[in-house]
Amino acid sequence: MTNQTTFIDVASVLKLLSDKTRLQMLALLQIDECCVCEFVEFFQMSQPSISQHLRKLRDARVVHEERRGQWVYYSLNLSHPQVELINNILNQCPSQIAAIETWNASGNRVKCATNILAGSKEK
Amino acid sequence: MTNQTTFIDVASVLKLLSDKTRLQMLALLQIDECCVCEFVEFFQMSQPSISQHLRKLRDARVVHEERRGQWVYYSLNLSHPQVELINNILNQCPSQIAAIETWNASGNRVKCATNILAGSKEK
DNA sequence: AGATTATATAAGTACATACTAATATCATTT
DNA sequence: AAATGATATTAGTATGTACTTATATAATCT
């Protein structure tokens, strides 16, 4: 007997994704994991504000958190019970591929990313 | 040049649907139009509360309102710019077909519905 | 016209949300 | 061990939300 999703379950996910910042965070994570400082720079928002949004996403297990040294990387949790709903929603959002490419090309992307990438290559 | 949907557009729809009552209202409307008094009875909520939820849905043009005599009937607006997103979400919700059948069979469904149905048959 | 029924609106309230500013925690570097 | 950098948490505040109670509007019926 599979547990049926309730209206409350769906409404909770929608409430979580109904903030434009959190929604775009997930759209970015759909492409690649990000660390907190990258989000801070991308959204031009304060670090506590970003951390608080990420905490909500993490508490709901929509994203997964992984510490690597000083940095904490976030990624989509593809095993979330509502992953199908979440993907359907994200597919209705503007693709962030071009935005990420522009960001990379701009040279504004924070150094932690390249550090980590360089670090992982060394292993 | 088609106007691209923004994160704010999507987030607004999600916020609107992130209330469990409004979400279930739309799931009911996916099956059949309903008038206010039917919602009041179905949800066992106060009439002002129901009307306020319906006003939000109407203000966002997610539902269409049509007065028939004393009654005001609400139906899904299938021309809403985000109709695909809305349908994707509703498809993740529990089907209300059985709930409506149970409700009809219970004899609790308010009389305005049958009156209107009888009236429409006369035409 | 007056009474009744259906619906909408307004005002008030309790609670939730998204931010800021300040501080704490944790890992790394010197 | 102290300094630095990244992230988390806390407290405070302004705004938003979903309800209640009371009232207004609109259509129908007598």
The closest alpha carbon to B88, from B6, B19, B36, B10, belongs to: B10
The Cα of A92 is separated from the nearest Cα of chain B by a number of Å equal to 6
User: For each of chain B's 123 residues, which pLDDT tens digit applies?
Assistant: 777 899 999 999 999 999 999 999 999 999 999 999 999 999 999 999 999 999 999 999 999 999 999 999 999 999 999 999 999 999 999 999 999 999 888 877 876 655 544 444 333
Whether A88 and B93 lie within 8 Å, measured CB to CB: no
Whether A94 and B23 lie within 8 Å, measured CB to CB: no
pTM, two decimals, is 0.91
Q: Which of A10, A17, A88 sits opposite B93 (nearest CB)?
A: A10
Domain segments of chain B as ranges: 7-105
Residue with CA nearest to D27's C1' atom: B70
Question: How far is C-alpha B50 from the geometric centre of its chain's CA atoms?
Answer: 11
How far, in Å, CA of A88 to CA of A97, rounded? 17
Token duo for residue B8: 């704010």
CATH number for the domain formed by residue range(s) A7-105: 1.10.10.10
